[in-house]
Copies of this chain bind each other. A is one copy, B any other.
């Protein structure tokens, strides 16, 4: 069946958008970065009703001429002041939240995204207030998960953490939270921060070595200890997966 281009063009010229429910679409962000051995997320504190004073995910309306992912990048820059042209950032779609009463003001469907920022594992990227009033601040994920949040954002944050934790079992996505070249210990620190656990260094190296590309170079040994090899990540799948230890 070949497309009927002429009939289709006539149809489109005559087409008038009509009765469909008026729904606003937003792009919200679960932003993760690793600092001082712990996983942090960028949250804003709401300055107005509803949920005044509570923590919320950064995000905003999807514009008429942009995709949800484009809106996510734009809002990430606007609400955190991050220079995305400079900073490597990984953004992927998480899920869409569409319960009719999730926003008491009006019908809002939110396309949530997962954003991973690259750090050296020690210091977090500086966040600055954007055009909107509320500035984003870093919060330790495993602590803030126990507090209430605005709207259904606590559930979204939990889903984002679960997604990242799961995906790290069978991909090298954890490397997106590090500089392009990193050491095995830096990568292990990301796993430990996200999984909130500790991993045996030797076994971790044995498992990850064949999944990474060895640059052949080594770090300048910082203070005590041998110099570490520098690796880069590719998009290989980890097989069999690196299992997250059962919680306990």
A residues near B (Cβ < 8 Å) are 1, 3-4, 7-8, 11-12, 15, 17, 20-25, 48-54, 61-69, 93, 95-96, 98-100, 104-107, 109, 111, 239-241, 243
Partner of A99, one of B22, B67, B105: B67
| Separation of A15 and B64 alpha carbons in the complex (Å) | 23
A1 touches B96 (CB 8 A): no
Question: Interface on chain A toward B: helix, strand, loop, or mixed SS?
Answer: loop
Partner of A49, one of B12, B50, B104, B105: B12
Partner of A23, one of B8, B25, B54, B69: B25
Given contacts A12-B49, A17-B24, A109-B111, 8 further A-B contacts (CB under 8 A): A1-B53, A12-B50, A15-B105, A20-B24, A62-B98, A93-B96, A96-B96, A240-B240
Most chain B beta-carbon contacts within 10 A, residue among A15, A21, A69: A21
A25 touches B109 (CB 8 A): yes
| Separation of A65 and B124 alpha carbons in the complex (Å) | 41
Q: How far in angstroms is the closest Cβ of chain B from A240?
A: 5
Most chain B beta-carbon contacts within 10 A, residue among A8, A50, A240: A50
B25 touches A100 (CB 8 A): no
| Separation of A104 and B15 alpha carbons in the complex (Å) | 10
Please give me the 3 A-B residue pairs with the lowest Cβ-Cβ distance, nearest first. A11-B49, A68-B98, A21-B64
Query: Would you give 10 A-B contacts (Cβ < 8 Å), ordered by A?
Result: A1-B54, A7-B52, A17-B24, A17-B105, A20-B24, A21-B25, A22-B22, A22-B64, A67-B100, A241-B241
A48 touches B98 (CB 8 A): no
| Separation of A236 and B99 alpha carbons in the complex (Å) | 28
A11 touches B54 (CB 8 A): no
A69 touches B52 (CB 8 A): no
Partner of A104, one of B12, B61, B66, B98: B12
A50 touches B8 (CB 8 A): yes
B243 touches A49 (CB 8 A): no
Partner of A105, one of B12, B61, B69, B111: B12
